[in-house]
Structures are given as structure tokens and as C-alpha cells.
Amino acid sequence: MDKKTIIKSLDENVIQFNELVKYLNKDEFEININHKWSAGQDLVHLIKVLKIVNIGFTLPKPLLQLMYGINKNEARSFQLLQTLYKNALEGGAKSPSIYIPKPVLFESKNHLIQKHATLNQLFIDKMNDHSDNALDRYRLPHPILGKVTLRELACFTSFHTAHHFELLKTKNLTQKQQRTHDLT
């Protein structure tokens, strides 16, 4: 996937996620259903991921090369990375504790939405600082996918946001169905 397409995808996925969260009421934002994260926790999780990804994208290239080596493999497609990630989740892979959010209060919603958008824009700016060659050459570690190129990590970041958007839509629908059932 070329840089322009990744950036467009990152931007669209964050806007879509934040738009959904923006209109959630207190219960929809704070409540956990079936031991799943609340919408607020999903939002904080995505913020935590973007913070770490932004740090990775600022590391000097010689340090990246020294710590994680140079990519010598053919680039993996967006679809392949998505499949690998979904298969890992289905196989029991979990988010490392550093990315697991604590309960999040409704009062922080607007601030967190803004923070998410700001961190995403910062990430897009950092991506633009890298040449296509650098995006395919340098690697960073991913807790589930192993060593990935900077381009692969950008692709992951995009579909990871979309993944949480889909989970949130499902949770929100489940929550609304539960309230309807409670009223009958």
C-alpha cells in the first residue's frame, strides 16, 4: 500500500472512530459489556498505541537498524497483515499490559477524542518524514506480528483502528439491544 493511501486510511479510520465515540452517552461510553472494554477504554487503548508508534517513528534510522535489523523480505500486503493479526487474536493473542486501559470516565471523552486526533496527525506527519525506501527498509517490533517494517506498522495502525471501530459498533448495538430487552 502506498504512503498516500495509508495516510488517507489512517485519517479516515480515526475520524470514523472518533465520530462514533463523540455521540455516545455516559453509559455507552463507560460500561463494559460481556467483559469487553468500554468505548472509553477502546479510545484510550488506541491513544496508547499511537503514542508508542509515534516514538518508534522518531527513533534515528541507525538505531532502528542496530536494534531491529534491516528488512530483507518482500513487503507484506495490508490484507496479509490483517489476516495474520486476526488469526493471532483468534488463537488467543492478547494486548500487552502496557496497552490495556483502566476504566475511563465520560467527563474525559472530548479531551480524549481530541488527543486521539492530534496523535494521529502527528503520526501522519512522522510518516511523511520518511521516504518510501525508509518505510520498507527499517523495522520495529510488534507484540503480536513480530518485526514489521515502518510501512507495515502504519498499515497495522490503520486497520487496528478500524478493528476497534467495528468492535465498538457491535458493543454499542449489543448495549442498545440489552436496554430494549430490559424495558420489555
Q: Is 127 helix (H, G, I), strand (E, B) or coil?
A: helix
Beta strands in the chain (DSSP E): 139-142, 146-149
* In-domain check, residue 181: no
For residue 67, the enclosing domain spans: 3-174
Residue 182 inside a domain? The answer is: no
Rounded average pLDDT over 152-179 = 84
Residue 159 forms part of a structural domain = yes
Residue 89 in domain: yes
- Asked whether residue 131 is domain-assigned, the answer is yes
Residue 183 lies in a domain: no
The mean per-residue pLDDT over the stretch 162-184 comes to 71
Q: How many domains does the chain have?
A: 1
Give per-residue pLDDT as tens, 110-136: 999 999 999 999 999 999 999 999 999
Kindly report the pTM of this predicted structure.
0.92
* CATH code: domain of residue 15: 1.20.120.450
In this predicted model, what pLDDT tens digit does every residue of 46-90 receive, in sequence order?
Answer: 999 999 999 999 999 999 999 999 999 988 888 999 999 999 999
- Measured CA to CA, the distance from residue 174 to residue 60 in angstroms comes to 45
- At residue 181, the pLDDT reads 47
Residue 37 falls inside a structural domain? yes
CA distance 32 to 38: 5
- Report CA dihedral (21, 28, 48, 162) to the nearest 10 degrees: -50
